[in-house]
Amino acid sequence: MMRAVRLHPPGGIDTLSVDEIEVPEPGPGEALVRVHAAAITRDELDWPTDRLPAIVSYELSGVVDEVAGDVGDLAIGDEVFALTPFDRDGVAAEDAVVPAAFLAPKPHGLSHVESAAFPLAGLTAWQGLFVRGELQPNQRVLILGATGGVGHLATQLATWRGAHVVGTASAGATELAREFGAEQVLDPTAPFVGSIEPVDLVFDTVGGHALARSADVLREGGRLVAVAEEPPPEIAERVDTTYFVVEPDRQQLVELAKLANDGILRPAIDSVFPLKDARGAFERVMSSGKRGKVVIEVNHA
Ligand SMILES: NC(=O)c1ccc[n+]([C@@H]2O[C@H](COP(=O)([O-])OP(=O)(O)OC[C@H]3O[C@@H](n4cnc5c(N)ncnc54)[C@H](OP(=O)(O)O)[C@@H]3O)[C@@H](O)[C@H]2O)c1
């Protein structure tokens, strides 16, 4: 048996509990991972699910415990990290079954807690900036939420790519946004037009008013990429907008791990909670004023 954090019908934070359930068995193409840390994301309890009860959290760092017979490139004892698919049970548990194709070698310079904070936010930032946003060196990008879970990695990645980053960060986080690479930092409630030069790309991780106002600082032909919510129709009618859902991608994780090992990319850990206090972790992740990711650490007896 193992402990797992599960969301029960009808959903919502009050239905979370730490349950004793059977350890899952890996099927073809899968591996069983002993989870050392699993990170969580604001709003993830609201993501649509028709399969409650469901284990929460979709990113982990751990050690391979068992592999299916048809998996050739993983061995028991390998240290791995991954973003796991959203259409099956998550990974906030002592053990988790994960498709082997999504498991990448854990960055050797990072702890399990730091590595678990990487996959969902790092892949969202990578895919938003480079795949959807096609960000090029010397272009200008406005990152809404530059010190949040996704935004702090996006700020570092855009800087590494050679782009000029303007970030939004609420009071108290300005200096941190600059440390991540932002050349200019705006209060999210301040007017954007008149405060900054036009940008080639807006990457939105906040939504709401900031998202709506950001369209006005896009240069002609610029693009708005959003992940927190779909841009409203009045924005989508007048600028090139993209909303997307991040996808697991082993090769991109390998690239991110290399940047972490080279000291270029640094995940920020806002807070760490034990598995038994998963509710506390979700209360924290839903609050404003965080600095990076909230992680659940799994201690094995
Ligand atoms: N579509 C996708 O594939 C995808 C992937 C990853 C994340 N997401 C979604 O994108 C959003 C951002 O994710 P994240 O991990 O970066 O989250 P986060 O760190 O909680 O939030 C990012 C920023 O949003 C601001 N914020 C605005 N309203 C907030 C509120 N009610 N509670 C907390 N912060 C608020 C925060 O700024 P201040 O702290 O300065 O207030 C923070 O810097 C979430 O809604 C998440 O579910 C979507």
Q: What CATH architecture applies to the domain 2-118+267-297?
A: Alpha-Beta Complex (3.90)
Distances (CA, A) of 274 to 92, 106, 229, 237, 299: 10, 21, 30, 45, 8
What residues contact 41, with CB distance under 8 A and at least 6 apart? Answer: 58, 120, 121, 149, 285
Residues 6+ apart with CB under 8 A from 3: 18, 19, 20, 93, 94, 275, 276
Instruction: Please give the structure tokens belonging to residue 228.
Output: 């927190």
- Of the candidates 121, 133, 161, the one whose C-alpha atom is nearest the C-alpha of residue 253 is 121
Residue list, ligand 1 pocket, CB within 6 Å: 41-44, 120-121, 124, 145, 147-151, 169-170, 173, 205-206, 227-228, 245-246, 288-290
Closest ligand 1 atom, CA of 152? 16
Contact partners, residue 134, CB within 8 Å, separation at least 6: 223
Ligand 1 atom closest to Cα of residue 43: 47
| pLDDT by 10s per residue, the chain, length 301 | 999 999 999 999 999 999 999 999 999 999 999 999 999 999 999 986 788 999 999 999 999 999 999 998 899 999 999 999 999 999 999 999 999 999 999 999 999 999 999 999 999 999 999 999 999 999 999 999 999 999 999 999 999 999 999 999 998 999 999 999 999 999 999 899 999 999 999 999 999 999 999 999 999 999 999 999 999 999 999 999 999 999 999 999 999 999 999 999 999 999 999 999 999 999 999 998 888 999 999 998 7
User: For residue 53, is the peptide bond before it cis, meaning its omega torsion is within 30 degrees of 0?
Assistant: yes
Q: Which two tokens stand for residue 139?
A: 């272009």
Beta bridge partners of 145: none
Domain edges within the chain: 2-118+267-297, 121-243
Contacts with 131 (C-beta within 8 Å, 6 or more apart), sequence order: none
Distance 205 CA to ligand 1 centre (A): 5
Specify the ligand 1 atom closest to the Cα of 146.
43
At the topology level, CATH places domain 121-243 in: Rossmann fold (3.40.50)
Whether 201 contacts 225, CB under 8 Å: yes
Instruction: For the chain, state the CA radius of gyration.
Output: 19
The model scores a pTM over 0.85: yes
Mutation to probe ligand 1, out of 142, 206, 214, 284 (largest number of atoms < 8 A from CB): 206
CB burial readout 192-205, b (16+ within 10 A) else e: beeeeeebbbbbbb
pLDDT at 37: 98
